[in-house]
Amino acid sequence: MKSLDDYRQLVGDGALAEIYTQARRLQGKRILHINSTHQGGGVAEILRSLVPLMNDIGIEADWRVLHGTPDFFAITKKFHNALQGGSLNLTDIKKQIYIQTNEAFSAYCHIDADCVIVHDPQPLPLIKFYKKRVPWVWRCHVDLSQPNEALWEFLKTFVLRYDLDIISTEMYRKPCLGIEQRIVHPAIDPLSLKNKDLSKKDVLKYVRKAGIPTDKPLITQVSRMDIWKDPVGLLEVFKHVRKEVDCRLVYCYDMASDDPEGNGVYQRTYRKAKKLVESGDVIFVLGSSQILVNAVQRVSTVLVQKSIREGFCLCVTEGLWKGKPVVATNVGGIPQQLVEAENGFLLDPFDTDGF
């Protein structure tokens, strides 16, 4: 298990000393994180590193996962899409399933903590079903800049019960929300299997095992299979690029357990790419192994992120950490990670020719 001391060479003595100093006030405090999946997606990845490190510095941190039916996750995925600007028919049935799932979870999940941090909209209503004796924090990782208004008004009835709302960028701040809002940028774990240094020998071993040839330049996107990651648009960009450069496209994708739309997006994208897959020009790789994702990013010539909307998109920082140029869209938290024409390029999501 990693310790905070393992990061000393990366951040320096001053940063570690400051963390230990600030942590003294939290010694023995119980902090509970709640989200809706233990695997797949950025939140689970962040918590896998954050919770053990919180425990290492003397905080008693815990992590629980909200359980739900397929209907619940189908609804919360629609909510996710609508919060990022998609349309939604917000029926009473959808509201009922959403609320009742959280209520049912509260019936068998005892909370005994000094602070509760709820991640994203799926477990948001939980606060309604507990006697609120301690601070509750809503950590929203979603792009809230242009939400579906009807949905936002519905969710706000739960948000207002919280003591604090943590968002990823200033553009997600909601004016006149009524509770305090603070910005905390997400971060990668440089010592995780996904980001630690790999030898060239190991990189080649993992990519060859995955069936990825390295005889041509590789353009790679690492992301969940999600309409907001624009996988079909990525294929169109690749068709333009391959007219000028003999290269391959690698789509290193993942499926989050709380995203029931992922397989459907994959099937549609694969059908669009079928001829290119058969010719070996496009390669789909399931990135369920963190060390494989690490190797794929390191072997790539350029990394792409063609998202239409984004929360923050740490895949960009992952690529930059590995010294790779990144071509990405200027949405969500991506512009806060890329310096135009210095370590990458920012483009409009629909500028296919620009890509």
Which pLDDT belongs to residue 258?
67
Domains of the chain: 4-183 (3.40.50.2000), 200-347 (3.40.50.2000)
Distance CA 111, CA 130 (A): 8
Nearest-10 crossing angle of helices 290-299, 200-209: 110
pLDDT band (50, 70, 90) for residue 200: very high
Distance CA 126, CA 142 (A): 18
**CB-CB contact of 36 with 93 (8 Å):** no
Q: Which of these, 341, 308, 309, 307, lies nearest to 325 by C-alpha position?
A: 341
55: left (phi over 0), alpha (psi -120 to 50) or beta: alpha
Average pLDDT score over residue span 268-283 = 96
The residues with which 118 forms a beta bridge, in sequence order, are 34, 138
Under 8 Å CB-to-CB from 72, ≥6 apart: which residues? 97, 98, 101
Residue-wise pLDDT for 38-81, tens only, equals: 887 789 999 999 999 999 999 999 999 999 999 999 999 999 99
Residue-wise pLDDT for 212-254, tens only, equals: 999 999 999 999 899 999 999 999 999 999 999 999 999 999 8
The per-residue b/e assignment along 252-268, b for 16 or more CB within 10 angstroms, e otherwise, is: bbbbbebbbbbeebbee
pTM for the model stands at: 0.92
pLDDT band (50, 70, 90) for residue 256: confident
Distance CA 258, CA 73 (A): 6
pLDDT band (50, 70, 90) for residue 36: very high
3-class state of residue 8 by DSSP: helix
Distance CA 291, CA 144 (A): 32
DSSP calls for 83-111 = HTT------HHHHHHHHHHHHHHHHH---
Pairing of strands 302-305, 218-224: parallel
Q: Does the pLDDT of residue 35 top 80, yes or no?
A: yes
Average pLDDT score over residue span 10-31 = 96
Distance CA 206, CA 44 (A): 23
Under 8 Å CB-to-CB from 11, ≥6 apart: which residues? none
Which pLDDT belongs to residue 288?
83
Residue-wise pLDDT for 89-106, tens only, equals: 999 999 999 999 999 999
Residue-wise pLDDT for 140-166, tens only, equals: 999 999 999 999 999 999 999 999 999
Answer positive or negative: Cα dihedral of 6, 11, 12, 17. Answer: negative
Pairing of strands 30-35, 60-65: parallel
Mean pLDDT of the chain, nearest integer: 94
Structure token pair of residue 255 = 């499926």
Pairing of strands 248-254, 282-286: parallel
Residue-wise pLDDT for 310-347, tens only, equals: 888 999 999 999 999 999 999 989 999 998 888 899 99
